[in-house]
Chain A
Amino acid sequence: MTEFADATVDRAASTAAASAPFVRLEGVWKRFGPLEVLRGIHLDVRQGEVVVLIGPSGSGKSTLLRCVCLLEPIQRGEIQIEGVPIAVGSEERGKKPDKGTIRRMRQEIGMVFQSFNLFPHLTAKQNIALAPRRVRGLSRTAADALAHELLARVGLSDKADEHPSRLSGGQQQRAAIARALAMRPQVMLFDEITSALDPELVGEVLRVMRQLANEGMTMLVVTHEMGFARDAADRVIFMDQGMIVEEDAPEVIFTRPEKGRTQAFLRQLLERA
């Protein structure tokens, strides 16, 4: 049986042992034109840690994820994976990471999107097998075998030859997770992956995420699912208006948040539920 992470290690032990952060954001500033979306973000994620980002819309959570997987450029600051800079602010002087480094480190990051973004003209199996074949150089048979293995892990074995249009939202999202995992990333980013799902489909996706967390995958998750945050997160970070307002263990954030803005946000969430 293969694991998603390289070793099934007790999460607490691994976070203590790996003291150097796996993902580091250092003084990251990002603007869209005149609009400042990230204002001086400092964030470390240790290997095997599950970090959940919460906050109101527009707080910059999704943008933060997009910057980490290099879909958006940053203006100031630096982003490192395993100590290697993969993004340097455009306004910073000094060396920018070269394309080879970026391509190499990019494989360590997997991302799952709110709108699934599966390739509609390919079957589930083909969606998953494409990148391993073209980027990691797997043969067609090896890639197909990997795809079948991952489909089984997310509970979609019988849907291998279906196109995304024939899958429910929950199934599509699980396929999207399998597709990201096919590249054997060391850290997985999740951008509100259950927000576009009907409520009854959310559970199956959260189940896969919990499974990943239990297997020691380093995860950075943006979500409104507070239940998941409470159960699976090692750390919860509250963001507002482009800044990290507060971060702590989930028990602390949800029961005794310090900052007024955190309290206001959580209160609002409870009122809606």
Chain B
Amino acid sequence: MDFDWTNLWEYLPFLLAGAGTTLAITGVAAAIATVLGLVLALARISGRRILSWPAYAYIEFFRTTPPLIQIVWFYFVVPVLIGYELNSFQAASAALGLNVAAFLGEIFRAGIQGVDATQRDAAQVLGLSRTDTYRFVILPQALRIVLPPATTTIMLLLKATALASAIGTMELTRVGQLISIETFRPFEILTAVAIIYFIINYPIALAARHLERRLAISGH
């Protein structure tokens, strides 16, 4: 086996730029997914068919179709539908955001429903409005429940950004592929890529664990 690691330093800036793009896609997609996921969860719970059924249809569609297909579809088909050009970053971020929203929607729903019904009773007899009940009683408790699965989902999202390479986005995986081809050193380059993925993904797990511990200290 003949490994040459010297090339690595030369190409590190490119890999780091790729990692930056990966994080950017993850950030945008996670923001979309979190907001939309919460909307979906509340719609599913609402009990009003006109809200819950579209939410249900959305979730099942995005859960069952492969994210890769969704990314490709967003890049090639959506611009035609909306008459607006999408670059690969936008298409990938949007597709992944909408996709992960479906998963987060179910996670948030489970979290909200996991809060004891008696908490709602107590809030109701105190006269708290529906909004205030969610804001001050239900959601803070649901947060503690959803933190582990939601964190895992975001970490999966970060890895799924690699799929954006299929439409040419210069995220970490694509950059790694191109450098491997150029240097004929796939082993060294892709090992570096894997390590960089670990380095940017692990802090998410650490942050979540820290947040979990802080919520636990407050005694629930």
Mark A residues whose CB is within 8 Å of B: 69-71, 103, 106-107, 109-111, 113, 115, 117-121, 130-131, 134-135, 162-166, 179-180, 183
Contacts and interface: CB of A to CB of B under 8 A. Distances in A.
Interface residues of B, number: 21
Contacts, number: 67
Contacts of B116: 117
A134 B133 CA distance: 10
Interface stretch (B60-68, B134-142, B205-213): B134-142
A51 B89 CA distance: 69
Contacts of A110: 125
Contacts of A106: 125, 127
Contacts of B126: 130-131, 135, 179-180, 183
Contacts of A163: 218-220
A69 B125 contact: yes
A164 B215 CA distance: 14
Nearest to A71: B121
B128 interface: yes
The 6 closest A-B pairs by CB, nearest first: A163-B219, A120-B220, A117-B122, A131-B126, A165-B219, A111-B125
Interface in B126-161: 126-129, 132, 136-137, 140-141, 144
B118 A117 contact: yes
Contact of A121 (B125, B129, B219): B219
B219 A107 contact: no
A134 B219 CA distance: 23
A121 B217 CA distance: 10
6 contacts: A121-B144, A131-B128, A135-B126, A162-B219, A163-B219, A166-B219
Contacts of B127: 103, 106-107, 131, 135, 183
A90 B164 CA distance: 56
Nearest to B135: A134
Most chain A Cβ neighbours within 10 Å, of B121, B122, B125 = B125
B118 A119 contact: no
Interface of B: 116, 118-119, 121-122, 124-129, 132, 136-137, 140-141, 144, 215, 218-220
Contact of B141 (A121, A134, A183): A121
A131 B132 CA distance: 9
A259 to B, nearest CB: 32
Given A115-B118, A130-B136, A120 B219 contact: yes
Given A70-B124, A117-B116, A121-B215, 16 more contacts: A117-B119, A117-B121, A118-B122, A119-B137, A120-B141, A121-B218, A130-B126, A131-B128, A134-B132, A134-B136, A135-B129, A163-B220, A164-B219, A164-B220, A165-B220, A180-B125
A97 to B, nearest CB: 15
A121 B140 contact: yes
A54 B132 CA distance: 35
Contact of B119 (A71, A119, A166): A119
A120 B215 CA distance: 11
Nearest to B140: A121
Contacts of A115: 118
A119 B115 CA distance: 11
Most chain A Cβ neighbours within 10 Å, of B118, B126, B144, B220 = B126
A120 B218 CA distance: 8
